[in-house]
Amino acid sequence: MPAEIAGTLVAVVVATLIWHSSKNRVLAAYIGSMSETFGFYTAIIIKDVCMMRKELKAEGKLFTPKAYLVICRNLLVDFGPSELLDSLAIRPFLMYFFPQIIGNYEVGVLIGKVLSDIFFFIPVAISYELRQKVKERRKADERAR
Protein backbone atom coordinates (compact mmCIF):
# COMPACT_ATOMS: atom_id res chain seq x y z
CA MET A 1 0.00 0.00 0.00
CA PRO A 2 2.79 2.55 0.70
CA ALA A 3 4.12 1.95 -2.82
CA GLU A 4 0.69 2.63 -4.32
CA ILE A 5 0.28 5.80 -2.27
CA ALA A 6 3.75 7.04 -3.23
CA GLY A 7 3.19 6.23 -6.91
CA THR A 8 -0.24 7.86 -6.97
CA LEU A 9 0.91 11.07 -5.31
CA VAL A 10 3.94 11.39 -7.56
CA ALA A 11 1.90 10.64 -10.71
CA VAL A 12 -0.84 13.16 -10.02
CA VAL A 13 1.51 15.93 -8.85
CA VAL A 14 4.05 15.54 -11.67
CA ALA A 15 1.46 15.10 -14.44
CA THR A 16 -0.40 18.17 -13.17
CA LEU A 17 2.78 20.26 -13.03
CA ILE A 18 3.79 19.22 -16.54
CA TRP A 19 0.29 19.86 -17.90
CA HIS A 20 0.02 23.31 -16.35
CA SER A 21 3.51 24.33 -17.45
CA SER A 22 3.46 22.90 -21.00
CA LYS A 23 -0.22 22.37 -21.90
CA ASN A 24 0.99 19.17 -23.60
CA ARG A 25 -1.29 16.30 -22.52
CA VAL A 26 0.84 13.60 -24.14
CA LEU A 27 4.02 14.80 -22.42
CA ALA A 28 2.18 15.13 -19.09
CA ALA A 29 0.75 11.61 -19.41
CA TYR A 30 4.12 10.00 -20.21
CA ILE A 31 6.13 11.91 -17.60
CA GLY A 32 3.36 11.36 -15.03
CA SER A 33 3.42 7.64 -15.84
CA MET A 34 7.22 7.45 -15.52
CA SER A 35 7.07 9.39 -12.27
CA GLU A 36 4.46 7.00 -10.89
CA THR A 37 6.76 4.10 -11.74
CA PHE A 38 9.66 5.80 -9.95
CA GLY A 39 7.62 6.51 -6.80
CA PHE A 40 6.13 3.00 -6.78
CA TYR A 41 9.42 1.12 -7.15
CA THR A 42 11.33 3.38 -4.78
CA ALA A 43 8.89 2.48 -2.02
CA ILE A 44 9.02 -1.24 -2.90
CA ILE A 45 12.83 -1.35 -2.99
CA ILE A 46 13.09 0.39 0.39
CA LYS A 47 10.59 -2.08 1.89
CA ASP A 48 12.30 -5.12 0.31
CA VAL A 49 15.76 -4.02 1.44
CA CYS A 50 14.53 -3.51 5.01
CA MET A 51 12.79 -6.92 5.02
CA MET A 52 15.79 -8.75 3.58
CA ARG A 53 18.19 -7.07 6.03
CA LYS A 54 15.97 -8.21 8.89
CA GLU A 55 15.72 -11.79 7.53
CA LEU A 56 19.46 -12.06 6.94
CA LYS A 57 20.26 -10.62 10.36
CA ALA A 58 17.96 -13.20 11.99
CA GLU A 59 19.92 -15.91 10.13
CA GLY A 60 23.24 -14.41 11.22
CA LYS A 61 24.12 -13.42 7.65
CA LEU A 62 25.30 -10.13 6.17
CA PHE A 63 23.44 -8.05 3.63
CA THR A 64 25.73 -8.13 0.59
CA PRO A 65 25.52 -6.78 -2.97
CA LYS A 66 24.17 -10.21 -3.94
CA ALA A 67 21.08 -9.43 -1.82
CA TYR A 68 20.42 -6.35 -3.97
CA LEU A 69 20.65 -8.54 -7.06
CA VAL A 70 18.11 -10.96 -5.58
CA ILE A 71 15.75 -8.05 -4.90
CA CYS A 72 16.18 -6.77 -8.46
CA ARG A 73 15.64 -10.24 -9.92
CA ASN A 74 12.45 -10.66 -7.90
CA LEU A 75 11.15 -7.28 -9.06
CA LEU A 76 11.87 -8.15 -12.68
CA VAL A 77 10.15 -11.53 -12.40
CA ASP A 78 7.11 -10.16 -10.56
CA PHE A 79 6.66 -6.85 -12.38
CA GLY A 80 8.76 -6.88 -15.57
CA PRO A 81 6.37 -8.11 -18.28
CA SER A 82 3.42 -6.18 -16.90
CA GLU A 83 5.52 -3.05 -16.38
CA LEU A 84 6.58 -2.85 -20.02
CA LEU A 85 3.05 -2.89 -21.37
CA ASP A 86 1.77 -0.66 -18.59
CA SER A 87 4.47 2.04 -18.75
CA LEU A 88 4.70 2.27 -22.51
CA ALA A 89 1.03 2.07 -23.47
CA ILE A 90 -1.78 1.52 -20.99
CA ARG A 91 -0.95 3.99 -18.19
CA PRO A 92 0.02 6.94 -20.41
CA PHE A 93 -3.04 6.39 -22.60
CA LEU A 94 -5.45 6.28 -19.66
CA MET A 95 -3.74 9.26 -17.97
CA TYR A 96 -4.14 11.15 -21.27
CA PHE A 97 -7.69 10.02 -22.01
CA PHE A 98 -9.52 10.43 -18.71
CA PRO A 99 -8.67 14.08 -17.98
CA GLN A 100 -10.30 14.94 -21.31
CA ILE A 101 -13.41 12.87 -20.55
CA ILE A 102 -13.79 14.01 -16.93
CA GLY A 103 -13.04 17.69 -17.50
CA ASN A 104 -10.99 17.99 -14.31
CA TYR A 105 -7.33 17.29 -15.02
CA GLU A 106 -6.27 16.04 -11.58
CA VAL A 107 -9.32 13.80 -11.11
CA GLY A 108 -8.93 12.44 -14.64
CA VAL A 109 -5.27 11.58 -14.06
CA LEU A 110 -6.18 9.86 -10.81
CA ILE A 111 -8.94 7.81 -12.47
CA GLY A 112 -6.65 6.87 -15.37
CA LYS A 113 -3.93 5.84 -12.93
CA VAL A 114 -6.27 3.70 -10.84
CA LEU A 115 -7.77 1.97 -13.88
CA SER A 116 -4.31 1.22 -15.27
CA ASP A 117 -3.42 -0.38 -11.93
CA ILE A 118 -6.11 -2.99 -12.56
CA PHE A 119 -4.52 -3.95 -15.89
CA PHE A 120 -1.08 -3.88 -14.27
CA PHE A 121 -1.75 -6.02 -11.21
CA ILE A 122 -3.51 -8.97 -12.83
CA PRO A 123 -0.33 -10.34 -14.50
CA VAL A 124 1.75 -9.19 -11.50
CA ALA A 125 -0.38 -11.30 -9.15
CA ILE A 126 0.03 -14.32 -11.40
CA SER A 127 3.83 -13.86 -11.61
CA TYR A 128 4.10 -13.39 -7.85
CA GLU A 129 2.08 -16.51 -7.08
CA LEU A 130 4.13 -18.60 -9.51
CA ARG A 131 7.38 -17.34 -7.93
CA GLN A 132 6.06 -18.17 -4.45
CA LYS A 133 5.23 -21.73 -5.55
CA VAL A 134 8.74 -22.19 -6.96
CA LYS A 135 10.20 -20.81 -3.71
CA GLU A 136 8.08 -23.20 -1.60
CA ARG A 137 9.07 -26.13 -3.82
CA ARG A 138 12.78 -25.30 -3.39
CA LYS A 139 12.41 -25.10 0.39
CA ALA A 140 10.60 -28.45 0.45
CA ASP A 141 13.36 -29.99 -1.69
CA GLU A 142 16.04 -28.59 0.67
CA ARG A 143 14.26 -30.01 3.73
CA ALA A 144 13.94 -33.39 2.03
CA ARG A 145 17.72 -33.56 1.49
| Confidence (pTM) | 0.74
Q: Cα angle vertex 76, ends 74, 78, to 5°? A: 65
How far apart (Å, rounded) are the C-alpha atoms in residues 144 and 69? 27
Q: State the burial class of residue 101 (Cβ atoms within 10 Å of its Cβ: 0-12, 13-18, 19+).
A: exposed
Mind listing the pLDDT tens digit of every residue in the chain (145 residues)?
A: 888 899 989 998 999 999 999 999 999 999 999 999 899 999 999 999 999 999 889 989 988 889 889 888 888 887 888 888 888 889 899 999 999 999 899 999 999 989 998 888 888 788 778 878 887 888 787 777 7
Number of neighbours of residue 34 by Cβ within 10 angstroms: 17
How far apart (Å, rounded) are the C-alpha atoms in residues 132 and 122? 16
